[in-house]
């Protein structure tokens, strides 16, 4: 994906089994946890392009979050800070080849940042 593309959308859930059933039935999403990500089932829309994850709801994660592909999380965080954004989570490793971070813009919108390639063993 290119810098600026939306890579995926995470949906916070409190009951994973209920959420998997609900979204699968409602939208026809295929939902499965890839090896190594058992606590993070991934959903894929029928178009085989759109997708994301179902993640445990927490105090800091109570609304769906879009993730945007960036060439460099460090650079993007620097630009975001310079424009008044708040960094909610610094760059963190997902795998040896992928990282994520989260920012909040001046309007309170939380946006995830994603860099790299995550091999989910498919």
CATH of the domain at 13: 3.10.180.10
Tell me what pLDDT residue 120 has: 61
Tell me what pLDDT residue 34 has: 86
Strands (E), 14-80: 30-32, 42-44, 51-56, 65-69
In a domain, 66, yes or no: yes
**CA-based diameter of the chain, in Å?**
43
Give 16-50 pLDDT, tens digit per residue: 999 999 999 999 999 999 888 888 999 999 988 88
Q: Residue ranges of the chain with pLDDT lower than 50? A: none
In a domain, 122, yes or no: no
In a domain, 111, yes or no: yes
């Amino acid at each position: 994906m290119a810098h600026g593309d939306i890579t995926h959308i995470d949906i916070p859930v409190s009951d994973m089994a209920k959420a998997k059933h609900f979204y699968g039935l409602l939208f026809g999403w295929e939902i499965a946890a890839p090896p190594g990500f058992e606590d993070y089932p991934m959903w894929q829309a029928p178009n085989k392009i759109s997708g994301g994850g179902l993640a445990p709801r927490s105090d800091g994660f109570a609304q769906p979050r879009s993730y945007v592909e960036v060439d460099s999380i460090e650079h993007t965080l620097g630009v975001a800070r310079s424009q008044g954004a708040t960094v909610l989570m610094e760059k963190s490793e997902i795998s040896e080849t992928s990282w994520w971070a989260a920012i909040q813009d001046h309007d309170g919108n939380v946006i995830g940042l994603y860099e790299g390639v995550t091999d989910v063993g498919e």
